[in-house]
Amino acid sequence: MNTGFDLAQLREGLMFYIVLIVSLCIHEWAHAFTADRLGDDTPRQDGRVTLNPVVHMDLFGSVIFPLVCIFMFPGGLLFGWGKPVRINPSNFPYRKRDEVLTTLAGPMANLTLALLAAVIGGFACRYDARALELVRLMLSLNVALAVFNLIPLPPLDGGTVLKHAIGMSEEMFYNISRWSMLVLLIAINIPPIRHLLGVVMALVSWPFAILFQMIAG
């Protein structure tokens, strides 16, 4: 047994998992915080307007499935999610606008984390090159989460935006949501679709990478 390799793999896996959980939980917190500020107290009643990661974690989606993917199928499919934030759009003063803003808050939070990784990481790497690994992971993972969640397919955030854009009924949204995640899981493992997602993520990552390089020198 190559102990050194095993320890390195454990370290990388744990670092990936921690960054994933932080990113997922801030994504869900952003939904809750925005809904609360716009007038819907449902997330506050559920205890979701907090940065405590425990309340945002889903046992299967945030613990079991990601850990199995990371440590049993390294380099393969990685998928994870947080506990969805409940909202009541009827509490919003401007229902359609405020639901869209609440929905977009999650992906925007991930892009903000990518921006912070580029800026803070750029300065950190001036003094310690070892920070580069963490910066790359934080940047790429948050861009991936933002892009994935903006896919216009219910129940993803992009699906909610699409619902309001085309006037989709709640019934149709629910019916599509029942099967769409299974279809999506299969689709992202089809090489052309996976390649297309990779291209989109690379394009979104490009400005952050340029900013990081400018700061890091």
pLDDT value of residue 2? 47
How many domains is the chain partitioned into structurally?
1
Distance, in Å, from the CA atom of 104 to the CA atom of 156, rounded to the nearest integer, reads 10
The pLDDT averaged over each successive group of 10 residues in the chain (217 residues) is 64 92 97 98 98 95 90 72 95 97 98 97 92 94 96 95 95 92 83 92 97 93
pLDDT value of residue 5? 52
In sequence order, the 6+-apart residues with CB closer than 8 A to the CB of 92 are 35, 38, 39, 40, 98, 99, 102
pLDDT value of residue 181? 83
Catalytic residue among 12, 28, 99, 133: 28
- pTM for this entry: 0.92
Active site residue 12: no
The tokens 């990371």 sit on which residue?
70
Domain assignment of residue 178, given as a range: 3-216
pLDDT value of residue 73? 72
Distance, in Å, from the CA atom of 49 to the CA atom of 28, rounded to the nearest integer, reads 9
Q: Percentage helix, strand, coil, to 5, in the chain? A: 75, 0, 25
Q: Pick from 28, 21, 85: which is nearest to 59 by CA?
A: 21
pLDDT value of residue 80? 84
- Specify which residues 82 forms β-bridges with: 57
